[in-house]
Amino acid sequence: MKKNTCFVMLAALMMAGCSNEVEEQVMDSRRVPLQINGDINMLMTRAADDHWDKNDAIGVYMVNADNSIVDEVSNYRYEVLDKVSGSFSPAGENNTAYFPENGDAVNVVAYYPQGEVVDNKLSLDLANQGEQPRIDLMSANAEGASKSNPTINLEFKHRLTKLFFEIEGDVNTDGINATISNQYTKIQYDILNDNLLIADESKQENIVMKYWNLDEGNNRFVEAIVLPNMDGNSVQERTLTFTLNGKDYTATIDAQTEFKAGKKYTYKVTFTKEGSVNIQGAGITNWDIENEGPEIEVKPDIYITGAIGGGWNTYSKMDKKPNNIYVWTGIIKENQEFKFTFDETYDHGKEQIMSSDKQNETSVVTLKEGTESDIYKVVYEENGPDNKWTVAESGTYMVKLDMDNNKISIEKKIFILGLDGDYTQDKAPSFAKVENGKYELTVTFSKECSFSMPLWSSAGWDMDCYMPVEESNNRAPFTPGTTMKVIKENRKNKDVQWQVTTEQTGTYKLTLDVSDSSNMTLTAVKLENQQ
C-alpha cells in the first residue's frame, strides 16, 4: 500500500509539473498589453490641476535603451479611464501597445496633451491661454517594463512655468485684460530626447493671461503658462499690463527673475490711483510639491442625485456660494432618497456626501425645515455605507450644504399660481420664509382672477397645493382682513381656489401660516398708496 501511495503521489507531482510548464508556455506565447497608471504631481490652482479630466489623453512611446522605437509603438493614444485614480486605457486596438513576445524589457515614454507629432515633436501655441490644460505640457517615463511586469506607474511633471497674480483690494475687475510681454508662444517638445525647443517661426510677443473670478469676486486672479528660461530664451525684463475700465496699469518683473520649468511664481497685485500696480511678495513654489506657499482653493463641483425627477441617473449641479456654501433648488418627493456626489457618477470607489459614515447606523435621515443635519464625506464601496436623506412632504426646496461646518439644511418654497389669470408655472412668484412654518408675499392683483398656492411647480395637475377649505371644486371668496382657513390637497384630486373680484384689485401682503397642520391659515392685508 505504501509503494502504491508513493507511486500515485509521484505521478501527481509529475503531472503538476507538466501542467505548470504548459501554463508557462501559454503565458510566454501570449501578447501582453501595456497597462498605465498616471499620477499628476502638482499643486492645485484650478479645477484641472490636481486630477485628470475625462477627455484627457496621453501619447505613449515604447523604446529601447538607445531610444529607438520598439514595434512601432509611437504616439499611441491612451485615454483616461478613471480621472481620480489616473488609470488609462488605449483608444482602440490600433493604439494598444504590446510588450515584446520574447520578454525583453523596454522603457515607456509618455507626454500630455496627446496630439499630432512630426518627427516625434509636439507643437504647442502658448498664445491660447483660454484652455490652459491643453497647453500644460507634462512628461513622464518608466524603465524596465515587460510582459512579466506589464503595469507601470507614470509620474507626470510640468515642463513649463506658471505665473499667478492674485488681485487684492476693493476694485471691480470685470472686463480686465492682462498681458505679459516678451514671450515666445510657438514651441515644440522633442519627446524622445525630452527637450523643449522654440519653433523656427516663433517670435517674442505679448501673451493675454487667463482671468478667473471665483466665489463672486472673493478670489480673483490672472495666470499664464509660459516658456521657461532656456537656450534662446534668456532672462530679461517683462512688462505687465492690466487694462481695466479703459485705463492701463503697468508693472515689470525684473530681469533677475528666472522662470524655471515646473515652478509657479505667485504675486499679490494691488491697483493704484497713479496708473500702476504694486506687485508684492513674489513667491516661488514647485508645482510638484503640495502645500508650499500660498495657493488658491478652487471649490469642487457638487451634484445632487436621487429624488430630483430622474432618479439615480440624474445629476444636478449645485450653485457655489461664498464661504464654501452650495445650494440647489428643485422638487423633492416625499420618502424618495437623495444624496450628493462630486462628479456625475454614482460608482463604487467614489467619494460621496452621505448622512452617516457608518454602515446601517442611520440608513435614512428625514430633513426638517429649520433644523440642520450632519453630513459626511464617505467613499462609496460595495457592501459599505450608503446612507441618504429624504423629506417628510413633497415640495420645492432650497437645499444648502455648508461644507466648512459639514451641515445640511432645507427651506421650503411655496408659490402662488393663477395670479391675474396667469398659470405659467415657471413664472409663478414664491413666498419668502419669515420663520418656521410662516411665509409672506407681497403681490398685486390687477384684475379679476383665482389662485391657489402649490408646493411645487410642474407640468400637469400632480402638485400639492395650499387651498381654501371647501368640499367641492367651487371657488372660495377672497376675504382680506379675515383669517382664511387652509388645507393641503393634491390638485389632481381637488382644485379649489380663492376668487379675487374686480373690486378687490390692488396690492396685498399675504401671510401663510402652516406651522400647525391642524390649523393652517392665510391672511391678506391691502397696502394703501401702492403704485
Second-level CATH architecture of 303-413: Sandwich (2.60)
Q: Do domains 161-286 and 419-526 have the same CATH topology?
A: yes
Tens place of pLDDT for every residue, the chain, 531 residues? 333 333 333 233 333 343 343 334 334 446 788 887 766 654 333 334 556 777 889 999 999 999 999 999 999 999 988 766 678 889 999 999 999 998 899 999 999 999 999 999 999 999 999 888 889 999 999 999 888 888 888 888 889 998 888 888 777 888 899 999 999 999 999 999 999 999 998 999 999 999 988 877 678 889 999 999 999 999 888 888 888 877 777 777 878 788 889 888 888 888 765 455 565 544 444 454 322 333 323 356 789 998 777 778 888 988 888 777 899 988 888 888 999 998 788 777 788 899 988 766 667 899 988 889 999 888 888 777 788 999 988 888 999 999 889 999 999 889 898 888 887 777 788 899 888 889 999 999 999 999 989 887 665 677 889 999 977 777 899 999 999 999 998 888 888 999 999 999 999 999 999 999 899 999 999 997 644
Angstrom distance (rounded) from CA 198 to CA 185? 8
pLDDT of 156? 86
Angstrom distance (rounded) from CA 440 to CA 443? 10
Give the DSSP H or E segment for 20.
helix 2-29
pLDDT of 457? 67
**Cell numbers 509660459 label which residue?**
226
| Contact assessment for residue 264 and residue 257, using Cβ atoms and an 8 Å cutoff | no
pLDDT of 467? 93
φ, ψ at 200 (rounded to 5°) = -55, -40
| Contact assessment for residue 403 and residue 464, using Cβ atoms and an 8 Å cutoff | no
Give one DSSP letter per residue of 195-224, joined into a string. Answer: EEEE-TT--EEEEEPEEEEEGGGTEEEEEE
Beta bridge partners of 409: 400
Ordered by start, the domain boundaries in the chain are 35-158, 161-286, 303-413, 419-526
Instruction: Name the fold adopted by 35-158.
Output: Immunoglobulin-like (2.60.40)
Burial grade of 124 (CB within 10 A; 0-12, 13-18, 19 or more) = buried
CA atoms in the 13 A half-sphere facing the CB of 519: 2
**Cell numbers 501597445 label which residue?**
97
pLDDT of 182? 92
Euclidean distance between the first and the last CA atom of the chain, given in angstroms as a whole number: 113
- The class level of CATH for 161-286 reads mainly beta
φ, ψ at 348 (rounded to 5°) = -60, 145
Second-level CATH architecture of 419-526: Sandwich (2.60)
Burial grade of 388 (CB within 10 A; 0-12, 13-18, 19 or more) = buried
pLDDT of 129? 92
